[in-house]
Chains A and B, each alone.
Chain A
Amino acid sequence: MSTMALDHRGFSALARPRVWLRGTVVLMASSTQSVELVELMARIRGGDQQAFASLYDATSRNVFGIVLRVLRDRAQSEEVTQEVYLEAWRSAQRFDVRLGSPTAWLNTIAHRKAVDRVRSSERSTQREQRHFRAESVLTPDDPSELAAIQDDGRRVRAALRRLPAAQRAALELAYYGGRTQAEVAAALEIPLGTVKTRMRDAMKRLRKQLGDSS
């Protein structure tokens, strides 16, 4: 019975693909429940509604949270959240753990739906003129949130804090603000190319920080 010793390469492996390796992807499952979520997905793929309820309970705060952050409107956010989970249920057969964790899967659907909704519900002129929230996610809306931050939250929060301010601003406006790169450029009054560079650098740094700390 042969075994292989593993050397867990961090995210830096992505930047320097090894010739002898195909398909090196480093995924960080952020949730402390990742193992259970993978098990739940297996059951959900078989149509298990109880398992889906458990998935909802484990993930709805994250899904609703990012939708709410992008949309701002609570009622709309609850609508979109329902759509996210309905889509998740419908397409569960196509969830593939090779493509990422269940958390990332749900977040991908959620963020995209929220952004689509916010762009369709605001005409472009409104969006340009809309006062954008200058506060970073590093300033919690509710002080009691500080107490609720778990270990995983602390790590990514610290990683965000360590970003150069310019990179963080571009990333936050785009991701949490649901804005296109062009809109970020206009809001920050910088060239589009600069926005692209800052977002790239910000995400690479975050990925490295989150990867190295595993």
Chain B
Amino acid sequence: MNAAVHTNVYAYVADALTPAEHEDFAAHLATCADCRREVAGLREVTAQMSGLVAAEPSESVRSSVLASIATTPQDAAEPTRTGVPHPANPWLDNRVSHDAGDELAPVISIRRSFGVRAAGLVAAAAVAVALAVGGWAVETQQTARQAAAQTQQLTRLLGSSDVRIASGTFTNGGTGTVVTSARSHQAMLVASGLPALPDGKVYEAWTIQKEAVPAGTFSPSASSSVVPLPRSAFTAKIVAVTVEPAGGSLQPTTPAIFTVSAPAS
């Protein structure tokens, strides 16, 4: 195995390798985390390329598909094994063992076209969310481990079978998305596009059922912030954000600049 095998990654994602080259590369993927990351990222590019040639299939395709899945069992989740190319499903060539944990931490940039809705306790008005899982800029060595841990948390959250998402806009132009999974006992607020605050001020999140419960403070210095939310997020009706004095407040002292109905669980 020489260094040249890495260069096949581009042909690999384009399915432009010969069968023998393909087998070799699939086996290589099992041993090379860098290539696995490349493959994952490049597959998003090819997905967009495919979008350029979109075409409408006949209605009969839809009915055939739905009829066949009604009588087809789903394969059980299995412990993933690397190094064995899956004959039918190339997606699985890129699988990693669950033990690898944080080895693949995708940055998922999710865009939606901007559509402003009426203000109020409404979820998902317009969202541009950068969920940078793993792509952190850490300022000190100490926070690297924290960042890695939160990376893992958010990744797992997104992979939960009961993940729920609710989004909204901040009055000052930012966007926020609340991501929850009751099964994983995790809830997070991802806020992006928020302007920096003057000295002595901080953003504070709240979960509100009957009254507002403090849910964490944050000071975005770059494009996004990820705020782990407390358990109250699961029973809350509303997640909100206000601007508070540095250090946070026990009760909101200013009007909410962001409110969203908590994702239904």
Contacts and interface: CB of A to CB of B under 8 A. Distances in A.
Interface of A: 1-9, 11, 13-14, 17, 20-35, 38-39, 42, 45-47, 49, 52-53, 56-57, 60-66, 68-69, 77-78, 81-82, 85-87, 89-101, 103-112, 115, 137, 148-149, 151-153, 155-157, 160, 171, 174-176, 178-182, 184, 196, 199-200, 203-204, 206-207, 210, 214
A42 B48 contact: no
A214 B62 contact: no
Nearest to A172: B49
Nearest to B94: A99
B48 A81 contact: no
Contact of B52 (A11, A85, A157): A157
Interface in B160-198: 160-165, 167, 177
A1 B95 CA distance: 33
B105 to A, nearest CB: 4
Contacts of B76: 93
The A interface is mostly helix, strand or loop, or mixed, namely helix
A180 B127 contact: no
A210 B78 CA distance: 34
Instruction: Count chain A CB atoms within 10 A of each CB in B37, B146, B148 and give the residue with the most.
Output: B37
A27 to B, nearest CB: 5
Contacts of B2: none
B90 A34 contact: no
The B interface is mostly helix, strand or loop, or mixed, namely mixed
A210 B46 CA distance: 11
B32 interface: no
Q: List the 10 closest pairs (A to B, CB-CB), nearest first.
A: A7-B137, A1-B216, A66-B50, A23-B105, A7-B222, A65-B54, A3-B218, A64-B57, A93-B77, A174-B16
Interface residues of B, number: 115
A156 B52 contact: yes
A199 B124 CA distance: 39
B121 interface: no
Nearest to A178: B15
Nearest to B112: A32
Given A25-B40, A29-B108, A111-B15, A82 B136 contact: no
Contacts of B34: 17
B144 A20 contact: yes
Contact of B44 (A30, A115, A184, A199): A30
A109 B94 CA distance: 12
7 contacts: A14-B41, A20-B141, A28-B48, A30-B47, A32-B111, A196-B7, A210-B44
Contacts of B256: none
B24 interface: no
Given A25-B105, A46-B161, A210 B90 contact: no
